[in-house]
Amino acid sequence: MLAMTDYFSKWIEAEAFVQVRENEVISFVKRNILTRFGIPAEITCDNGSQFIGKRTTNFCEAWGIKMITSTPVHPQANGQAESNNKIIINNLKKKLGSKKGKWAEELPFVLWADRTTTKNATGQTPFSLVFGFEAVLPTEMIIPTVRTSLQTIEANNEVLSQDIDTIDKSRDIAKI
């Protein structure tokens, strides 16, 4: 598995791989980071050859991404990654039980659950910090809430206009 986290929003991107080599790292960053969120100023990683190899280094330099490595002796230096890996693994274990071979299929659902859970550090969900509004959860489609039962295209457009005005304020508060 390869996972990357935005330190500000706590949004986790992760994918299952049989083996993580330089090509997989580069493809992952292109597909999940650059084309969704833009160019990160830096990426913090361990000293694995897939991160410090020539192709990955050249790729990062070409995009102006600073690669920061933690030492193998102190992986806790990249505590956010260590913490998120634990979250993903523990939630996969809970979800799968004895069906461990199906973890790659369940990974997107575990990520969705994490992205729609309020984080203590920000007081917001990663989803709301990235998109500016809370996600509509599957349960809200089965058991309508006030929010989903009152939704119309006109009301939705009005709320989105208001959200554009308040998103920067929410992000500033979460930054603190």
Q: Which one is predicted more confidently, 24 or 98?
A: 24
**pLDDT of the residue at 142:** 76
Is the per-residue pLDDT at 46 higher than 90? no
Q: What span, in angstroms and rounded, lies between the C-alpha atoms of 24 and 19?
A: 8
Separation CA 70–CA 21 (nearest Å): 18
Please state, as a whole number, how many other Cβ atoms lie within 10 Å of the Cβ of residue 97.
7
pLDDT band at residue 60 under the 50/70/90 scheme:
very high
pLDDT tens for residues 69-125? 877 666 566 777 788 889 999 999 988 877 777 899 999 999 999 999 999 989 999
Q: Which residues share a beta bridge with 4?
A: 13
Is pLDDT above 80 for 166? Answer: no
State the pLDDT at residue 153.
Answer: 74
Q: Give the per-residue pLDDT at 83.
A: 86
- Mean pLDDT comparison of 22-31, 77-86, 129-138, highest-scoring range: 22-31
pTM of the entire predicted model: 0.77
Q: What are the structural domains, with CATH classification, of the chain?
A: 2-117 (3.30.420.10), 136-175 (no CATH)
Sign of CA dihedral 114, 36, 135, 166: positive
For 8-45, b/e burial (b = at least 16 CB within 10 A) is ebbbbbbbeeeebbbebbbebbeebbeeeeeebeebbb
Contact (CB, 8 A) for 136 and 125: no
* pLDDT score for 15: 95
- Whether the per-residue pLDDT at 155 is higher than 90: the answer is no
